[in-house]
Amino acid sequence: MYCTLHKVLYIRYYMYCTICIVIICSIYIIYNIYERLILTERKNMKIDFGETRLEKIDRLSKPHKWFAWYPVEISAHDYRWLEYVERTGRPSALCDGLWFWKYKAIPKTVGDVLKGVEND
């Protein structure tokens, strides 16, 4: 017969074995669920990385409506702030991500339209 120390070690060994088996089975089950739900969807998923640099340059180089959330200079001594303006941009040749902007006021009233015609 075994002594009590052997019995305790024997019980602990089987207890650890059963815990390890339960953990391994749980990991296997969780991975199978992950594989079915997520990996199968990823195979069918198309990743969109957004527009390319050339598409962005093409889009921002054309005049577009933009909200001036900081003061921008339209012409000498004419600044616009917290209103929509029309802007066009060109990228810097030296620094990637740096743009040079030109702003143009969007006429609001008939008087603004007439001022624009008189100045041209």
- C-alpha distances in angstroms, 89 versus 52, 79, 94, 117? 16, 18, 15, 24
Question: Can you give the residue ranges of every domain in the chain?
Answer: 1-47, 53-119
Q: What does pTM read for this prediction?
A: 0.50
- Tens-place pLDDT, residues 21-49: 888 888 888 877 777 776 666 556 666 77
| In the chain, beta strands by DSSP E | 64-67, 72-75, 78-80, 84-91, 99-105
pLDDT of residue 93: 81
What mean pLDDT comes out for the span 73-84? 91
**Closest Cα to residue 107, out of 83, 91, 90, 75?**
83
Angle made by CA atoms 108, 113, 114, in degrees to the nearest 5: 140
Share of residues in the chain with pLDDT > 70 (%): 70
